[in-house]
Amino acid sequence: MKFPDMRASKLIQNIFYITLLFAGANTAFANSVALELGTIEGDENADRFGGAFRVESDKKWFAAGDWYLGTYFEFGLTYWDGDKGTEGKDSLVDFSVTPIFRYQRKLGESVAPFVEFGTGAHVHTETGIGNKDIDIPFSFGTHVGAGARFGAKGAYEVAYRFQHLSNAGLGDENPGLNFHVIQLGYHF
């Protein structure tokens, strides 16, 4: 993973502030925020940095002992920083909305592990990055992840996600992109 240049650092800082401002101004709307760092898998050289706010449902399905299935919507904004490559684009901004199912242990005095699955829509400011031509500025993102909540009332969270993005054949090209992502979250 390479370190971003000053322009990317400023953008990452602004994404962080916008995420916190939006979530802080809308605590009745957002239940948590997350910062993320990811890297692309394969021959490409691209990293992504960003944030998200989440709207969680109070509904709990399939409760069994200390475990249940919960849901939330995640609204994300990430900056991808890569190499110029054949597509002539070395960066893009990605906006996403993803409904997520999370199977988790109830919050208690210890660590509450979870696994999750989500599929959502992504809109990009460019149609390619590095040598990847994604053809259209839209894709679907699907991820599987695992992590844990911890701290007082489960206020903190760390998670790993494997995410696949694809335009599902809506464009002429559909190379698909895979990311490894680490998220750090805070629940209000």
Burial tier of 78 (Cβ tally within 10 Å: 0-12, 13-18, 19+): buried
Q: With cut-offs at 50, 70 and 90, classify the pLDDT of residue 160.
A: very high
What integer pLDDT is reported at residue 76 of this predicted model?
A: 95
**Is 0.85 topped by the overall pTM?**
no
In this structure, is residue 51 part of a structural domain?
A: yes
Lookup: tokens for 129: 């990055």
CA distance 173 to 59: 40
In this structure, is residue 108 part of a structural domain?
A: yes
In this structure, is residue 170 part of a structural domain?
A: yes
CA distance 182 to 151: 18
Lookup: tokens for 3: 């370190």
Residue in the block written with tokens 């401002």: 21
Chain segment 78-135, per-residue pLDDT in tens: 999 988 766 677 889 999 999 999 999 998 878 999 999 999 999 999 988 888 888 8
Chain segment 37-54, per-residue pLDDT in tens: 999 998 778 899 999 999
CATH number, domain at 18?
2.40.160.20
Overall domain count for the chain? 1
The residue range of the domain holding 68 is 6-187
In this structure, is residue 1 part of a structural domain?
A: no
CA distance 46 to 90: 8
In this structure, is residue 178 part of a structural domain?
A: yes
Q: With cut-offs at 50, 70 and 90, classify the pLDDT of residue 26.
A: very low
